[in-house]
């Protein structure tokens, strides 16, 4: 390429960069997929004979503008935020922990079984709740040990092992509910129900569970840990370039196990918060599948803790409002999951178009 041609290409690249700055690109690939998914969801609603504007307006009205709906939305955010924090730790370290659903549910079942017994034994409520949260985190972390060891010492793909352990965790949780932890006083298979007065306290005389505060504190702490501390820098280095981490003198196996322990522990803590703050018990065959549902949200937020808070709020509002809209407008109750699926598709498409534009700009 001659010098005039090189100059022309450089000038063109500069013009393109000015026309589409970095913040605009980040905004487009973070918010664009959300609006695209909502638009595609609207088309599906039209095909079902439902006015999409009426559906979305009803979701906003019931989940945000209504005091009771807003309280339900904020309460539901607690477990979602902890799941998001779990995924941020893993993904920023280059590890795919897709076993959060098993870690969540197994921890939830054991906390649901242990906490009523401790409450009945006369333990102070705050100690009872603290122990319940610790139990949830420990159970989640322990369930992540096997994939961690297989990844750290044998290099086995963690996507396969965490998904398998998730399946086993969900199955084991259901067996425990139906056999070892079954409440004999109910006809429907479930664990004993924790009394309302023994659950996480409400905030400021509202119906919002203090699990929201737990989720907010943890996700902000995780964001600061991953971006402002030397430990977080080591984890990110392992994820970005394991060979460089080895040359820098870092113990990749130990850091890999640490990532799994933190990520799985937070998923287990999410299960404890959901039980102690909202559910009170676990029914047989219950699996909300929060972990896989939150994956596109943290990617839309670019693995940023503060951005994840915003997306978790929007998704919580969609699930709460969607339940009401389903009853009023005749929309299937799982339509919010359709929106999540569309988010995954539009997010992947946005990433593809962004990389294609990046290569074109370079050339």
Chain mean pLDDT for the chain: 88
Mean pLDDT of 348-362: 79
Residues contacting residue 357 through CB under 8 Å, at least 6 positions apart: none
Q: What Å distances lie between residue 46 and 52, 56, 324, 336, CA to CA?
A: 6, 12, 18, 15
CATH for 220: 1.10.3470
Locate tokens 């280095």: which residue? 237
Mean pLDDT of 341-359: 84
pLDDT confidence of residue 122: 79
Tokens of 68: 């009771």
pLDDT confidence of residue 182: 92
The CA distance from 36 to 346, in Å, is: 7
pLDDT tens digits, one per residue of 111-148 = 999 998 888 777 888 999 999 999 999 999 999 999 99
Number of domains in the chain: 1
Per the domain annotation, does 31 fall within a domain?
no
Q: Are 191 and 183 spatial neighbours (Cβ–Cβ below 8 Å)?
A: yes
Exposed, middle or buried by CB within 10 Å (0-12, 13-18, 19+), for 9? Answer: middle
The CA distance from 202 to 209, in Å, is: 5
Mean pLDDT of 252-278: 96
The secondary structure of residue 190, as a DSSP letter, is: B
Q: Are 95 and 158 spatial neighbours (Cβ–Cβ below 8 Å)?
A: yes
pLDDT confidence of residue 363: 64
- pLDDT-derived band at 356 (thresholds 50, 70, 90) equals confident
Domain of 164, in residue numbers: 51-330
The CA distance from 302 to 347, in Å, is: 11
Share of the chain above pLDDT 70, in %: 92
Position 11 pLDDT exceeds 60: no
CA angle in degrees (0–180, nearest 5) for 280-74-54 = 115
pLDDT confidence of residue 219: 98
Q: Are 202 and 209 spatial neighbours (Cβ–Cβ below 8 Å)?
A: yes
Per the domain annotation, does 98 fall within a domain?
yes
Share of the chain above pLDDT 90, in %: 66
The secondary structure of residue 167, as a DSSP letter, is: H
pLDDT confidence of residue 9: 41
157-162: which pairs have CB atoms within 8 A and are 24 or more residues apart? 158/95, 158/96, 158/97, 158/98, 158/260, 159/96, 159/98, 161/99, 162/96, 162/97, 162/98, 162/99
pLDDT confidence of residue 326: 84
Per the domain annotation, does 118 fall within a domain?
yes
pLDDT confidence of residue 23: 61
pLDDT confidence of residue 337: 86
pLDDT confidence of residue 12: 43
pLDDT confidence of residue 324: 85
pLDDT confidence of residue 54: 92
The CA distance from 268 to 270, in Å, is: 5
Per the domain annotation, does 161 fall within a domain?
yes
Per the domain annotation, does 97 fall within a domain?
yes
* Partners of 190 in beta bridges: 283
| Exposure string for 211-236, b = 16+ CB within 10 A, e = fewer | bbebbbebbeebbebbeeeeebebbb
Position 220 pLDDT exceeds 50: yes
Mean pLDDT of 257-278: 96
Q: Lowest mean pLDDT of 262-266, 293-297, 324-328, name the range.
A: 324-328
- pLDDT-derived band at 209 (thresholds 50, 70, 90) equals very high
Chain mean position to CA 322: 19
pLDDT confidence of residue 291: 93
Position 169 pLDDT exceeds 80: yes
DSSP structure string for 199-258: SPPBSTTSS-BTHHHHHHHHHHHHHHHHHHSHHHHHHHHHHH-HHHHHHTT--HHHHHHH
pLDDT tens digits, one per residue of 26-44 = 667 778 888 999 999 999 9
The CA distance from 108 to 270, in Å, is: 8
Per the domain annotation, does 348 fall within a domain?
no
Per the domain annotation, does 2 fall within a domain?
no
The residue count for the chain: 363
pLDDT confidence of residue 96: 94
- Which candidate, 277, 315, 312, 275, places its Cα nearest to that of 85? 312
The secondary structure of residue 188, as a DSSP letter, is: S
Mean pLDDT of 54-82: 94
Position 325 pLDDT exceeds 50: yes
The CA distance from 108 to 94, in Å, is: 27
Per the domain annotation, does 33 fall within a domain?
no
- pLDDT-derived band at 233 (thresholds 50, 70, 90) equals very high
């Amino acid at each position: 390429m001659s010098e005039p041609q090189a100059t022309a290409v450089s000038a063109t690249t500069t013009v393109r960069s000015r026309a589409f700055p970095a913040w605009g690109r980040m905004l487009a690939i973070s918010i664009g997929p959300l609006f695209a998914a909502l638009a595609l969801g609207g088309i599906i609603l039209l095909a079902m004979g439902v006015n999409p504007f009426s559906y979305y307006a009803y979701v906003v009205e019931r989940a945000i503008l209504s005091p009771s709906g807003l309280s339900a939305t904020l309460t539901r955010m607690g477990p979602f935020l902890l799941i998001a924090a779990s995924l941020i730790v893993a993904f920023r370290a280059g590890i795919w922990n897709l076993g959060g659903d098993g870690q969540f549910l197994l921890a939830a079942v054991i906390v649901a079984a242990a906490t009523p017994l401790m409450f009945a034994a006369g333990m102070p409520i705050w100690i009872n709740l603290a122990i319940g949260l610790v139990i949830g985190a420990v159970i989640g972390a322990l369930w992540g040990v096997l994939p961690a060891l297989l990844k750290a010492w044998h290099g086995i793909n963690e996507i396969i092992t965490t998904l398998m352990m998730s399946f086993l965790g969900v199955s084991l949780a259901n067996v425990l509910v139906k056999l070892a932890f079954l409440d004999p006083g109910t006809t429907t298979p479930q664990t004993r129900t924790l009394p309302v007065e023994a659950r996480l306290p409400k905030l400021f005389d509202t119906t919002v569970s203090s699990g929201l505060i737990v989720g907010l504190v943890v996700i902000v702490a995780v964001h600061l840990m991953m971006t402002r501390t030397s430990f977080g820098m080591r984890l990110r280095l392992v994820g970005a370039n394991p060979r460089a981490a080895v040359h820098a003198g870092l113990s990749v196996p130990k850091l890999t196990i640490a990532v799994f322990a933190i990520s799985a522990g937070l998923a287990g803590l999410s299960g404890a918060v959901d039980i102690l703050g909202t559910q009170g018990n676990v029914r047989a065959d219950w699996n909300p599948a929060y972990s896989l549902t939150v994956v596109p949200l943290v990617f839309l937020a670019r693995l940023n803790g503060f951005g994840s808070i915003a997306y978790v709020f929007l998704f919580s509002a969609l699930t709460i409002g969607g339940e009401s809209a389903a009853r009023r407008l005749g929309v299937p109750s799982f339509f919010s999951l359709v929106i999540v699926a569309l988010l995954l598709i539009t997010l992947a498409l946005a990433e593809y178009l962004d990389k294609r534009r990046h290569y074109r700009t370079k050339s």
